[in-house]
């Protein structure tokens, strides 16, 4: 899951952009947030981003490798372990995902 999220942050990062990774405990949960400088994800795309084989706007993704399974599978794996993967609200030109998992499972 982390490999996929970090790989996506690298692939979709804007030129001269940045990537931030932050991990923290929240009670009985471990949360890892990965943010990057990126094109904004349109509101209509935000609903579909975890759908299998969804690749987003072809104008922005046609040169990026992938088949659209990484986020879907990562979310399913997180949920199978009692956690979740979410696309967070972020300032313009940023994308932020948070992976949460129980500490003791």
How far apart CA 88 and CA 97 sit, in angstroms, is 6
- Put simply, whether the predicted model's pTM sits higher than 0.75 gets the answer yes
Tokens of 72: 């879907």
Please give the domain boundaries of the chain with CATH numbers for all domains: 2-102 (3.30.565.10)
Strand 29-37 to 84-88 pairing: unpaired
Closest CA to 96 of 30, 9, 31, 16: 9
**Overall average pLDDT of the 1-26 stretch:** 94
Distances from the Cα of 87 to the Cα of 16, 43, 45, 51, 94, angstroms? 23, 12, 11, 13, 11
**Overall average pLDDT of the 51-71 stretch:** 62
């Amino acid at each position: 899951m982390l490999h996929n999220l970090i790989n996506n942050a690298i692939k979709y990062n804007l030129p001269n952009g940045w990537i931030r990774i932050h991990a923290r405990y929240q009670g009985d949960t471990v949360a890892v947030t990965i943010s990057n400088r990126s094109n904004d994800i349109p509101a209509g795309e935000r609903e579909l981003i975890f759908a299998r084989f969804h690749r987003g706007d072809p104008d922005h993704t046609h040169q990026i490798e992938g088949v659209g399974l990484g986020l879907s599978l990562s979310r399913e794996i997180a949920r199978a372990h009692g956690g979740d993967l979410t696309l967070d609200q972020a300032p313009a030109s940023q994308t932020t995902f948070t992976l949460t998992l129980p500490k003791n499972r």
